[in-house]
Chains A and B, each alone.
Chain A
Amino acid sequence: MKKVLNITIVIAILALMAWGYAGAAHHSAHASQKGLDPKEIIFSHLGDAYGWEVPFSHSVRIPLPIIVIGSDGLNVFMSNRVTGGDTYNGYKIATDGDYKDKVVQVVNGQQVRPWDFSITKNAAGIMIAALVVIALAMWIRKWYKKNGMKAPRGGAGLLELVVEFVYFDTIRPIMGKDAPKYGPYLLTAFFFILTMNLLGLVVIFPGGANLTGNLAVTMVLALCTFAITNLTGTKHYWKEILWPDVPIALKCPVPMMPLIEFLGIFTKPLALMVRLFANMLGGHMVVIVLILLTFIFTNMYGVGVGAATSVVSVALALFMLVLDTLISFIQAYVFTLLSTIFISMAHVHEEEPKLEKK
């Protein structure tokens, strides 16, 4: 029975690959006329969009609301009114210029960017991720209410394992008595990032948005850590920055050490932001490039080479996706761990020398 199932799965995968390859050959036949532009393809896949692609179609998209505040006030309409290249109420998606692929208002023949609060693909993805996290948290809460002191099994056990790992084995040993105060923020950040990372790996509708590989998303996360670190920092933390314990010569005539420490305030969240962004973006980019190799080789050497490449590409892409799953967890954990360390470093007290030892 199991053997039959395995064989069916393999045949299904091969059939899908054949179908995909037929599509690919068709696509590249098109592309060879216009010239295949890998860079365009990669960035259009990694970037944001109005509307959400559906599988096997390049033109059909799930419409999403566009919310813009232009010179004529607030405008709300569905994205399918403009994604086809149409103009609606003076708004259209720019095809070139500074605001390429963004909604612009045409005023006197000039393209003006309005305040754009659209629920784009990424914004919708963020909301879906948030809802998934809330659903998970509420589910485990309900589970605890119902089962109380029973040993967790199945999904509850998995979630508990992660909470145990992040909170009890990481946040609490580092933060000590501050853990209950900042734990909820750090846990929220961890689960939100993890969910966004994993959703980004799913290629069809609820997933597929490159969320954590987008600088806006990681910037908000890093800004939150930055705000918490500096707004709740103790007197001693600021003293360490403005008047650190170094020889006078290093800080008196030229405030070299204070300057370095002061820059450190900003480099820490910057590192958080860029690390998560670059790791996730890199993972997605490699997968897309590996798949694109099929098209590129077909374009260069013909269909036979392309077909051979497709097998290698899919295998490598699959490997990369598995690796990305691991990276999703690691990056979410690293973000949380570093946030924990930054926040706990802002809570040093002079009478607690053992904290600095850690």
Chain B
Amino acid sequence: MELFKPEFGLVFWMFVAFLCLYFILAKYAWPFIIKSMEERADMIDKGVAYAQQAKSQLDNAKAEADKIIAEARADQADKLREAEAMKTQLIENARAEAIVEAKKVTDAAQVSIEQMRKESEKQLKQEVSEIALNIAEKVIRTKMASDAAQQELVAKLLQEVETNN
């Protein structure tokens, strides 16, 4: 039966064809196709991993942002409160300082007023005494025209001085 007897020519051509096919495909096709498929599979895997990572990061980012905002709010409130406190403190301090300063200024003014008063008093006294002396001089000049009167007065003044001391 022909079917069960391998024909030599057919074996030969089959062998040649299969060998040629193998060498062509093994050189040009399979390694390239397998490499391309592997590369793409890798890329898809990486892409999926990356997307997942990005998604989780995004989710985290939202939570983080919320956290930061909450923190900032709390901070803001704190800061406001602090500022308020500081403001009152400052005002208080300023007021106290102003009072102290004002007092100082008034004291100084009082002192200088006192001084001026004393000075003017002194001056006034001097002036008054000068005027008095002048007047007295004039009076005396007119009154003491005579030696007797002069002597009487001197004696009187000396007596006065004595009694005063």
Tell me whether B33 is interfacial, beta carbon within 8 Å: yes
Q: Is A290 an interface residue (CB 8 A)?
A: no
B154, chain A: closest CB distance, angstroms: 139
User: B21-33 toward A: CB 8 Å interface, digit per residue (1/0)?
Assistant: 1101110111111
Provide the bound-state CA to CA distance between A156 and B28, in Å: 17
Query: Is there a chain A Cβ closer than 8 Å to B1's Cβ?
Result: yes
User: Which of B7-15, B65-73, B138-146 forms part of the interface with chain A?
Assistant: B7-15
Is B91 part of the contact surface with A, judged by Cβ < 8 Å?
Answer: no
Contact B6 A219 (CB under 8 A): yes
Q: A33 CA to B50 CA in the complex, in Å?
A: 79
Beta-carbon contact of A120 and B30 below 8 Å: no
Other than the given A126-B13, A149-B43, A163-B37, 20 more pairs (CB < 8 A) read A48-B10, A67-B9, A116-B8, A122-B10, A123-B14, A123-B17, A130-B17, A130-B21, A134-B24, A183-B34, A184-B26, A184-B30, A185-B22, A185-B26, A188-B30, A216-B7, A216-B10, A219-B6, A221-B14, A221-B18
Q: Is the CB of A217 within 8 A of B10?
A: yes
Chain A nearest CB, measured from B101 CB (Å): 82
Residues of A contacting B9 in the complex (Cβ-Cβ under 8 angstroms): 67, 115-118, 120, 123
Please list 23 pairs of residues, one from A and one from B, whose beta carbons are closer than 8 Å in the complex, sorted by A's number.
A67-B9, A100-B2, A115-B9, A123-B9, A123-B10, A123-B17, A127-B13, A127-B17, A130-B20, A137-B25, A149-B39, A149-B40, A163-B34, A184-B31, A185-B26, A188-B18, A188-B22, A191-B25, A192-B18, A215-B4, A216-B10, A217-B14, A221-B18
Given contacts A120-B9, A219-B11, contact A141 B4 (CB under 8 A): no
Q: Which of A140, A144, A219, A220 has the most CB of B within 10 A?
A: A220
Q: Map CB proximity to B onto A188-212 as digits: 1 under 8 Å, 0 otherwise.
A: 1001100000000000000000000
Q: Which residues of B contact A (CB under 8 A)?
A: 1-15, 17-18, 20-22, 24-26, 28-34, 36-37, 39-40, 43
Chain A residues in contact with chain B, CB under 8 A?
Answer: 43, 46-48, 67, 100-101, 115-120, 122-123, 126-127, 129-130, 133-134, 137-138, 140-141, 144, 148-149, 160, 163-164, 167-168, 180, 183-185, 187-188, 191-192, 213-217, 219-221, 224, 281
Report the minimum CB–CB distance from B5 to chain A (whole Å): 7
Q: In the A-B complex, list the 7 residue pairs whose CB atoms are closest, starting with the nearest.
A: A137-B29, A184-B26, A216-B6, A123-B13, A216-B10, A184-B30, A144-B36
**A184 close to B18 (CB less than 8 A):** no
A101 to B3, CA, bound (A): 12
Question: Cβ of A187: which chain B residues have Cβ within 8 Å of it?
Answer: 25, 30
- Is chain B's interface secondary structure helix, strand, loop, or mixed overall? helix
In the complex, are the beta carbons of B37 and A168 less than 8 A apart?
yes
Q: A150 — nearest CB in chain B belongs to which residue?
A: B40
Instruction: Report the minimum CB–CB distance from B32 to chain A (whole Å).
Output: 5
